[in-house]
Structure 1
Amino acid sequence: MRRETLHNESVAEAIDLIQQAKAAQSQLKTFSQEKIDAIVLSMVEAAQRESARLAKMAVFETGFGNIEDKITKNDFATNDLYRYIKDQKTVGILRKDTETRTLDIAVPMGVLGALIPSTNPTSTTIYKTLIAVKSGNGIVISPHPSAKNCILETARIVLEAAVAAGAPQGIIGCMTQLSLEGTQALMHNPDTALILATGGEAMVRAAYSSGNPAIGVGPGNCPAFIEKTANVKEAVKKVVLSKTFDNGVICASEQSLVVERTIEAQVKKEIAQQGGYILSAEESEQLSKVILRENGTMNPKIVGKPASYVADMAGLSVPDDVKVLVSQQYSVSKTNPYSREKLTPILALYVEKDSKAAIDRCVELLENEGSGHTASIHSDDDQVIQDFSLRVPVSRCLVNTPSALGAIGATTELIPSLTLGCGAIGGSSVSDNVGPEHLINIKKVVYDFDCCVSKAA
């Protein structure tokens, strides 16, 4: 009976929040660019003030990651994103071409349904609400159950700030009664204009099968190719930094190191000197048993945990200060956990005879899992970088940068984003980092061609 009651309450809440957001959005879409921008700035300032508290809430509630890096992600979702969107035109006439007499007019989509993951709960909530309001849309959030409280609190903070700056009440909604049926009601509702789905593969598939437009993000499985011309010390430093950032929960973080045989010894030496622990064959076998569950999916108990914690789970004795567990591997398959996505500080290491074989291995890893997402290369050889970029089936090809940070736009010129499109090959509707520009439709105003020609004559 309790299950049925929760089901009914959750569905009813989803419907009510959508209707509130729809009514609010009908007002918001009439606002000027200046008024929208003032609301967004108020939300940013409120999120900045609460960044540390929200980070602590996220870590204590989910057990994923660490407070310092959660603060950095919250700040990224406010400061970095705001710098990108603050002068962006998203309201009214976007472009005017007097020569061809064409106009591009922004049309907001309506009400967005936003699914928020437990790995990056507060930062993703900040990010999605900001890009929704900036583009003139309402938004209703479905939190991951294991991060419900920190997501609710984040949504409350940005909503109150938005309303204080003149936004209509209800423009941001967040479900409190959580159930699969409630989330399905949010995704299937005809008044949901678009679903922003960030989370597991099954959830993303459900979003795309809802009957409503969706932008979903598939799994990552980023291979990092350290090519023989690279500065090996710097490359390993960046990989370790990236893989340990928030204990590896960003889906664009490196999952495998692929190196050429000529620099194998040098890479292994740097791994050991920079906090990595290279496992023996026996230790690798022991650790492999805790990476995947019996159904072949990633074990949630290792997600976002420090390397020493994961080693203890597997019954391994490693130094207390170890940062990353590294296992040398020779095969790629769905049943080899090291060749798949591992949202924790575990790396596979593949050693190949030359750059061609290394690129082949990177392609094999991505085709096994993570097609469309991200790959990285560390190299000073432009030809090899080009060869790598042409071959790997990804939407983001990163060069000489920490993958987790480069992919989201923290160390690159990509759109600052916590929703990374994977393109058609990855089952996504977009291949970009998602920003406000993906949440508006463009109305084209065009004049008869002959009219344009006669005017020009």
Structure 2
Amino acid sequence: MGANAKEVISLMDVPEGNMLEQAQVAAREFAKFSPQAVDKIVEAVAAVAAERSAFYAEWIVRETGYGVVEHKTIKNEGSSAGLVNFYKGQNFCGYEIDTEKKVVKIARPAGVVLALVPSTNPVATTYYKILLSLMSRNAVILCPHPAAKGCIVGSADELTAVAEKAGLPKGVIQVVREPSIALLETMMKSDQVNLILATGGPGVVRAAYSSGNPAIGVGPGNVGHYVDGTGSLDKAALDIAISSGFDNNLGCTSDSVALVERDVADAMLEALSRNGVLKLEDKDDIEKVRNVLYPDGGFNPAAIGKSAAWIANEAGISINEDIKILCVEVDKIDDKDIYTREKLFPVLGFLRIDGLDAAYRAAEAMIAMGGAGHTAAIHSKDSDKIVAWSQLPVYRIATNGPAPLVASGFASGLAPTMTVGTGFFGRSSVCENVGPQHLIHWTQIAYSDDPSEVLGDIEDAMTRWDKSRSA
């Protein structure tokens, strides 16, 4: 008996054991659906998801203690109606004919997608991965982080009911109700999984890539935000405050360190202070906050997604209630300094910079610490500097806006996403914001370029074939 057979048997020993088999059967049926039938399901699911965004945002914060309800709502809306509106009219489940090149392309779904859902953005990721799978005619099995199991299962169950009422076969959307590391590892290695969509910490992403199955994962971010002073400092300060405070900095595209030209640095700090940012001046206070966030040098999970008020209270520091972000000035980028690393709480590093080259070197050092292929940000009216900034080893340059909203496509022309591809720089296969196009491949019928070879009635044949198998 082979290893894969043993894995399937081990899965059969738990309630979720027949999920993969059910998903494979459902995926084959769903793959026959017409684009019109798929659109009907997608639109029904997106409408309910958007309508219920605030409800689940409150549930997330209540269950996990992470983030801000208002900001969770924005993420949920962007990952439902915003996502579907962006891709409306694009073809992920039909065919295309290029008469000039004599090539016919037929969309082929992956099959069964195993979708890991993190605790930091649980419902937005659930919405996003369900809708990506539906738009591309894939079955999806959601594997929740235990810390957010309730809201993930609740939202998935609601969207499943809506989708099945709109005609989706049973088994296309499933959710693991009692997640465990052992079960996840076994499922990831199963030959009944066709693609793993991994959003989470480095450990689960590495496990997905080493599973033996195709996988799309994300990498960490560490966003340096360069302010050169050529634009409005008030606008730059507002955008950086939005970025660092958005959902209490629960996002890998959020600002980690502001890199500000020395001649405007003091004015920038004043502008930040008008936007709810408090610079810590006392060395003892800075050390107290450090000890709360990284006690004994190790990361404190209890601080994830907590507010500036919570952090200050734990550190024994008194701050005004309008303070949303704590700021610590640093004199260099140092991988041993927690204030220059990626953060999952509203604490902003601040570094005075002398020129573009120095800013570039600082951002490069931050990316080397963790963030290759991810995101960098800039506020500038100098196009030459913006182009120079784009040479950093990242695939998103958030320009003149709040980095998490711009890079994730919620406030830019990029695709809305909860999975940011980090490409070759980040040792990944996808560099762009992951979308339904990454969950399909295309079979291509290619005719000889001999002029005597013509397409004939291939379009009619494709129509007949499509009608014969479509729902």
- TM-score class normalised by the smaller sequence: over 0.9
Instruction: Mark the CA change 1:295 to 1:259 in structure 2 (over 3 Å): closer, same or farther.
Output: closer
Q: State how far apart, in whole Å, the 2-side matches of 1:295 and 1:160 are.
A: 46
Distance 2:54 2:275 in 1: 28
Q: State the Cα distance separating 1:335 from its structure 2 match.
A: 2.1
> Cα offset for 1:293?
5.2
Which residue in 2 is equivalent to 1:220? 221
Whole-angstrom CA distance in 2 between matches of 1:378 and 1:361: 16
In structure 1, give the amino acid aligned to 2:264: I
- Preserved CA contact (<8 Å) 1:307 1:322: yes
Identity %: 36
Aligned amino acid, residue 28 of structure 2: S
Q: In the alignment, is the contact (CA less than 8 A) between 1:372 and 1:424 conserved in 2?
A: yes
Q: Give the corresponding residue for 2:463.
A: none
Q: Which residue of 1 aligns with 2:63?
A: 61
Structure 1 residue 411 displacement after superposition: 1.0
Contact 1:229 1:381 in 2 (8 A): yes
* Structure 1 residue 279 displacement after superposition: 0.9
Aligned twin of 2:343: 342
Instruction: Specify the code of the residue in structure 1 equivalent to 2:292.
Output: V
1:192 is paired with a residue of what secondary structure?
coil
After TM superposition, list the pairs within 5 Å mapping 1:359-398 onto structure 2.
Answer: 359-390=360-391, 392-398=392-398
Indicate the residue corresponding to 2:439 in structure 1.
439
How many residues were matched structurally?
446
Residue type matched to 2:276 in 1?
Answer: G
**Partner of 1:413: helix, strand, or coil?**
coil
Q: How does 1:56-455 map to 2 (within 5 A)?
A: 56-93=58-95, 95-280=96-281, 281-292=283-294, 294=296, 296=298, 298-390=299-391, 392-449=392-449, 451-452=450-451
Query: What amino acid does structure 2 have at the position aligned with 1:88?
Result: Q
2: CA distance between counterparts of 1:193 and 1:294? Answer: 42
Distance 1:454 1:45, change over 3 A: closer
Per-residue deviation, 1:319: 1.9
Alpha-carbon distance in structure 2 between the residues aligned to 1:96 and 1:288: 59
Structure 1 Cα separation of the partners of residues 451 and 33 of structure 2 = 32
| Partner residue, 1:3 | none
d(CA) in 2 for partners of 1:233, 1:20: 55
Deviation at 1:220, TM superposition (A): 1.0
Structure 1 distance, partners of 2:205, 2:453, is: 51
Give CA deviations for 1:290-326 in whole Å, capped at 9, x if unaligned. 2235574x32211111111111122222222211101
Deviations 1:344-395 (A, max 9, x none): 11000011111211121111111111111110000000111111112x1111
For residues 208 and 453 of structure 2, the distance between their equivalents in structure 1, rounded to whole angstroms, comes to: 49
Partner Cα separation in structure 1 for residue 454 and residue 443 of structure 2: 23
- Contact persistence 1:215–1:430 (CA under 8 A): yes
Give the alignment's Cα RMSD to 1 decimal: 1.8
Inter-CA distance 331–31: structure 2 relative to 1 (3 Å threshold): same
Do the aligned partners of residues 34 and 359 (structure 1) sit closer, same or farther apart at CA in structure 2, a change above 3 Å counting? same
Within a 5 Å distance, the mapping from 1:6-17 to structure 2 comes to: 12-17=14-19
Q: How much has 1:16 moved relative to structure 2?
A: 1.4
> Which piece of structure 1 moves more, 147-156 or 269-278?
269-278
User: What is the alpha-carbon distance in structure 2 between the residues aligned to residue 341 and residue 159 of structure 1?
Assistant: 35
Hey, what's the Cα distance between the residues in 1 that align with 2:201 and 2:412? 26
For 2:425 and 2:288, locate their aligned partners in 1 and report how far apart those are by CA, in whole Å. Answer: 34
Distance 2:279 2:104 in 1: 59
Change beyond 3 A, Cα 1:157–1:423: same
Cα separation, 1, equivalents of 2:316 and 2:11: 44
Instruction: State the alpha-carbon separation in 2 of the partners of residues 228 and 154 from structure 1.
Output: 44
Structure 2 residue identity aligned to 1:135? S
Q: Deviations over 1:203-227 (max 9, x none)?
A: 1111101110101011111111011
Instruction: Structure 2: give runs of 5+ residues left out of the alignment.
Output: 1-8, 456-471
Query: How far off is 1:146 after superposition?
Result: 0.3
Counterpart-to-counterpart distance in 2, 1:413 and 1:210: 34
- Paired with 1:286 and 1:244, the residues of 2 have a C-alpha distance of 20
Q: In 2, distance between residues paired with 1:135 and 1:455?
A: 30
Q: Displacement of 1:443 after TM fit?
A: 1.1
Match of residue 4 from structure 1: none
Would you say the 8 A contact 1:142–1:178 is kept in 2? yes
Q: Which moved more, 1:120-129 or 1:440-449?
A: 440-449
1:288, 1:219 → 2: CA distance?
A: 21
Change (3 A) 1:188 1:295: farther
* 1-structure distance, mates of 2:71, 2:12: 33
CA distance in 2, matches of 1:150, 1:9: 24
Deviation at 1:8, TM superposition (A): 6.6
Deviation at 1:46, TM superposition (A): 2.0
In 2 relative to 1, CA 11–259 (structure 1 residues): closer, same or farther, beyond 3 Å? farther
User: Corresponding residue for 1:31?
Assistant: 33
Deviation, 1:86, is: 2.7
Cα deviation for residue 425 of structure 1 reads 1.6
Q: Which amino acid aligns with 1:323?
A: K
Q: Which amino acid aligns with 2:285?
A: E
- Show structure 1 runs of 5+ residues with no match: 1-6
SS in 2 for 1:304: coil
Q: Does the 8 A contact of 1:113 with 1:140 survive in 2? A: yes
Task: Give 1:381's aligned amino acid.
Answer: D
Distance 1:40 1:264, change over 3 A: same
